[in-house]
Amino acid sequence: MASQQVVGFVSLDDLSLELAASLLRSGYAVQAFEISEPLITEFLKLGGIMCASPMEAGRGVAALIVLISHADQMNDVFFGDEGALKGLDKDAVVILRSTLLPSYIQNLEKRLSDCETAYLVDVYVSRGMSELLNGKVMITSSGKSDAIARARPFLSAMCEKLYIFEGEVGAGSKVKMVNELLEGIHFIASLEAISLGVKAGIHPWIIYNIISNAAGNSWVFKNHVPKVLQGNTKHHFLSTFVQKLGVILDVSKSLTFPLPLLAVAHQQLILGSTHVCGDDDSASLVKVWDKVLGVSTTDAANEEMYSPEELANQIACKSSSVNRIGFIGLGAMGFGMATHLLRSKFCVLGYDVYKPTLTRFAEAGGLACNSPAEACKDVDVLVIMVTNEAQAESVIYGDLGAVSALPSGASIILSSTVSPGFVSQLEHRLMNKGKNLKLVDAPVSGGVQRASMGTLTIMASGTDEALKSTGLVLAALSEKLYVIKGGCGAGSGVKMVNQLLAGVHIASGAEAMAFGARLGINTRMLFDVITNSGGTSWMFENRVPHMLDGDYTPYSALDIFVKDLGIVSRECSSRKVPLHIATVAHQLFLSGSAAGWGRQDDAGVVKVYETLTGVVVEGKLPVLKKEAVLQSLPSEWPVDPIDDIQKLNQNSKTLVVLDDDPTGTQTVHDIEVLTEWTIESLIAQFRKSPKCFFILTNSRSLSSEKASALIKDICRNLQTAAKSVESIDYTVVLRGDSTLRGHFPEEADAAVSVLGEMDAWIICPFFLQGGRYTIDDVHYVADSDKLVPAGDTEFAKDAAFGYKSSNLREWVEEKTGGRIPASRVTSISIQLLRKGGTDAVFERLCSLPKGSTCIVNAASERDMAVFAAGMIKAELKGKRFLCRTAASFVSTRIGIVPKAPILPKDLGINKEKNGGLIVVGSYVPKTTKQVEELRLQCGQILRSIEVSVDKIAMKSVEEREEEISKTAEMADCFLRARKDTLILTSRELITGKTPSESLEINFKVSSALVEIVRKITTKPRYILAKGGITSSDLATKALEAKCAKIVGQALAGVPLWQLGPESRHPGVPYIVFPGNVGDSKALAEVVKSWARPLRLSSTKELLSNAEKGGYAVGAFNVYNLEGVEAVVAAAEEEQSPAILQIHPGALKQGGIPLVACCVSAAEQANVPITVHFDHGTSKQDLVEALELGFDSVMVDGSHLSLKDNVSYTKFISFLAHSKGMLVEAELGRLSGTEDDLTVEDYEARLTDVNQAQEFIDETGIDALAVCIGNVHGKYPASGPNLRLDLLKDLRALCLKKGVFLVLHGASGLSKELIKGCIEQGVRKFNVNTEVRKAYMESLNNPSKDLVHVIASAKEAMKGVVAEKMHLFGSAGKAW
């Protein structure tokens, strides 16, 4: 227990006190050695124990945390006379906090190993710098797996975020170096950026306010620049940085690894330190830097401030009307901007050199022009969005250029990224034209998606008149519009400063990750650590994932930064301000372009380092050990919120789940699912005031456009229906695949377009039953005992919905095409769920900016419940969320408590005769493995029909129809023959050249399966559909279901519906088996549990039911086919269970064919029939009988002594029970004759109660045949003389022992005696004589033909059997 463990500290600092406090809160005891009196005093206040030496601090501890700042301390602390090792137990773990280089730590580990004492883990303890962690303790640790295993509980208790690098110690120090590398480069870049901005005449605080919310932002820029501008950072800061970066450069030299950006940052810091005047301790860093770069930042910072946003608002209010716009440059960004202006009801004339783009523009409603001049005809405003200055010069002043055609007084918006100098010169040239042409310098930022949505960031500058004439256009294109004072060129100046920082941050990210790879650190984990540390930046978080994925698809081409940093280089030269970091970054991008990577993504600059050094930055997320990961997480929130959820739901909104395939119902029960969404059907649902209902959209089978249109249609109908029902409010959940396939973000966008903007999109693919976990924002798929990143699974390779990213932040960016960058995606961590509970979730959700995207991490149902409770509370406060989730969220959100899997008996379908229908359309490899296992395990009871995908999807209509008809006809035959029937598509996957072609093939396959099922006329016992699209199409199109009830699950994660009354097969169970659920045996497991059993019951079940119902079951001796058919026919007519009984004499005559006849009849019957071997007096006969298919046997040792009877019966009982067979035995002996076996009266003896007890205990039998005066054959003329008093005593014994009572010789007993015996517990009567007699007498009435003889005999026997069934009370008790 934690309360019994002690943790020691050697040396303390302020952070140590916080670690100790956390350990105390977690139930550990803490003790410490520290020579600083203030620190030890604070430690004692926490509740710690003071120690006199390191040795004492280590005595009796499970973990010892040692703080060392200098290598020369190590020997005394560990190996001195009073060193820590003297007090440490051998199984204790040493947790080393230090600033030492990895080599020192590795040397310590070797010395500890040589001493055969202690385990070593090194840690880098810091405070999280991200918005999520925000000052909370973060620990990066490393060590061998056994050391980590011992240290993990203590590390977890001390921090909010734990990173573990298993393997060599020293990773903590290495990560620290990489982070400090980035901080150093970012710091110098920030100073250069501010200096360049000041030289360009832009107020430094304006630069700060804009850049800190733009792509050029970094943690260092945001947090250090204000202190620098305020003069609060002193020059001592330089010395510290010089020392830290010098150590990193020494390490890089030892590794022969170039760090050009860090090297120049280090030199800049050294240069700055040389400008400090003597012993002037008060000198601020900003003044020092002004001397280094020759700028006056201090004076500029003290100039009067203004608000660029407020200026933009003023301009917009005074803007002139604009009727006609020219647009030159319809590239990726320009096309989006121009078409957005069209949608904003402007008339737009467009020109581009690429003719296909002009065609697209015309199709979008624009006026396509053949030259720049034509695009300027009669326009009020001309927007220019070309690549560079040369192109801008050409379209304005070249042949058929704009300037000659522009009407007098027109305005030009130049949105290209060009140098401020170019813009200033252009303004002067336009003024000299004498046409009163006005210029607005308005570079943009935001990417292609934001361009098309009109949500760009625009930095505009120009004269007031120019800005007013273009204000409406600028406002239409932007979400953030800044108006920068300083005239034309100021806007480009701000953009230039932003690009300086953005370019340096991409290049520094490449340098840092390449260095990390050279240090041997897992680059994926390194990235995660840095994003929560001071070395992070917007570009680091956005571009490094591309490096890690090795994906250089150009979101922004590398050559763009060749151009943009080229502008910076020219401007710093012309303005006489040295920018060392920026120019080196420019050289790196130039190197990448020279290597041929210019058109690849700008993250490709990392290839410069990879090519020079041979390292590989690309790093797949590791496959994790499931148990180790789950155990490393904090303990679950101690209180189960499910009761709170159920209470909150009494006042919360109805959950409407739009399910993109039917498998989303896999965690709920007693909920309705609609397959139509008419306003009338939705009103009917809302009037029931349900806590939840599903709408099956099956949109995953549609194209993106059709799926979006469908979601909009449903949302509009929901709005209309809700307005028609009083006091109804609802929340929409887009239930999607737990392996991230589906139309995201298209469906979410469609829903929002109708329902309005949400406070947040919630992304929650956790699904416990399917083994889907989200941990540290990475989504995993469990595979046996491993956790595999989702992006590395078969599901990520889906032809229509494939993806690369496992980190859900990056997945959002990938799926939105960069519209929602990873850096803007927030998350709710497992740490928050497990340490903060529902209130922390509530506060987190309420604090999200409107329009956020939020990932939910979860590794247990409790995590999900904590989140759901917090979300409901936020909704009750007025927050609106749109959820894109897997199935687990839905059941938790509505407070459903899971119930056991549903079996056929729960729905009462045991008596149905027809076979079940299994249809497999899913192509994922998991399904193929499951089908193989199904055929292997169930081949004997299953009939398979394979449908050729080639014929139904790729061949002629005639071949398709032939394949469909043939399959349906065969299935009909098999189902009527009571055989479970598997229809599956051929397993060779056929895909199209594009995702849309693949969807079309999927549609053809799915529609063929629909036609096959529609043509099947036989009503199946149950239907199982494998695969989401398959199950949806079959339900809606083949079975015509409009509403179904979700009964529960057939297996964890496998929904079970009951079809509604309007469907083709009302009430038939419909099993929706997802393509991605379960192990290889899961499908076989479900089919075996749902397949019609070979026998509807066992003899034991028959007698158990009789015991519960207070009746008896007849066991009828049979000798031939007529006897078998007579018993079965009577049982089916009377709806009674029955036992077909074969005597050894009959077996001798009829042999195995007679047994086979009985077994087959029992299997084909629609009531419970079992087969019993009677009176086995020979051990050989009984052993052979055990292998013939009997359900039960009677061991007849009544002719033996008690001792021999026990031995004989016990032997057979052991063998029979191993096969699951019921064993009946006889104690006492009946007189009379049965099948040539005669027992004389003098040999008969009654059953002795005392012997019966011993007999039952010794043999373990299930049923006891007793002798109470009953006889085989005919009773004497005086009639039966049964000892019911003895029967009563035997009943008491058997009831106590759980043994059934059996009475042989039921023929000839009166109704009263039969009823008396039943009342005294007899549950099985053997009947032979009267049935035989009826058979023999029927033969005395000759018929015309043998078939008539058989029919007559059968009817005679059936009458006797039916009469006995009524007498025994079993009639009507089949079910």
Tell me if residue 853 falls in helix, strand or coil: strand
List of E strands, 446-558: 456-460, 478-483
What is 922-991 written as a DSSP string? --SHHHHHHHHHHHHHHTTTEEEEEE-HIIIIIS-HHHHHHHHHHHHHHHHHHHHTT-EEEEEE-SS---
Output the six-digit token pair for 317: 């209010």
Q: Are 734 and 763 in contact (CB under 8 A)?
A: no
Residues shown for the chain: 1375
DSSP code at position 113: H
**Helices in 1320-1345 by DSSP H: which ranges?**
1329-1338
1019 is catalytic: no
Tell me if residue 727 falls in helix, strand or coil: coil
Q: Are 797 and 998 in contact (CB under 8 A)?
A: no
β-strand partners of 1326? 1115
Q: Are 1038 and 1014 in contact (CB under 8 A)?
A: yes
Q: What span, in angstroms and rounded, lies between the C-alpha atoms of 1234 and 201?
A: 119
Residue whose C-alpha is closest to residue 297's, from 188, 192, 195? 195
Q: What span, in angstroms and rounded, lies between the C-alpha atoms of 1227 and 1264?
A: 7
Q: Pairing between strand 980-985 and 624-625?
A: unpaired
Q: Out of 174, 176, 495, 1100, which one is annotated catalytic? A: 495
Q: What is the 3 state secondary structure string of 643-660?
A: HHHHHHCCCCCEEEEEEC
For residue 991, how many C-alpha atoms fall within 13 Å in the half-sphere facing its CB? 12
Q: Pairing between strand 93-98 and 63-68?
A: parallel
Residue whose C-alpha is closest to residue 853's, from 889, 822, 807? 822
Q: What span, in angstroms and rounded, lies between the C-alpha atoms of 505 and 509?
A: 6
Helix, strand and coil in the chain, % to nearest 5 = 50, 15, 35
Cβ atoms < 10 Å from Cβ of 114: 8
Q: What span, in angstroms and rounded, lies between the C-alpha atoms of 240 and 246?
A: 10
Q: What span, in angstroms and rounded, lies between the C-alpha atoms of 507 and 498?
A: 14
Task: Characterize 195-206 residue by residue with b for buried, 16 or more Cβ atoms within 10 angstroms of its Cβ, and e for exposed.
Answer: bbbbbbbbbbbb
Q: Are 614 and 258 in contact (CB under 8 A)?
A: no
Q: Are 1020 and 1065 in contact (CB under 8 A)?
A: yes
Q: What span, in angstroms and rounded, lies between the C-alpha atoms of 596 and 702?
A: 40
Task: Name the one residue in this structure whose structure tokens are 């009985």.
Answer: 1158
Q: What span, in angstroms and rounded, lies between the C-alpha atoms of 507 and 585?
A: 6
Cβ atoms < 10 Å from Cβ of 1121: 16
Q: What span, in angstroms and rounded, lies between the C-alpha atoms of 1068 and 1062?
A: 12
Q: Are 861 and 768 in contact (CB under 8 A)?
A: yes
Region for residue 807 given its phi and psi (left: phi exceeds 0; alpha: psi -120 to 50; beta: otherwise): beta
Output the six-digit token pair for 1033: 């199409």
Q: Are 520 and 103 in contact (CB under 8 A)?
A: no
Catalytic residue ranges: 495
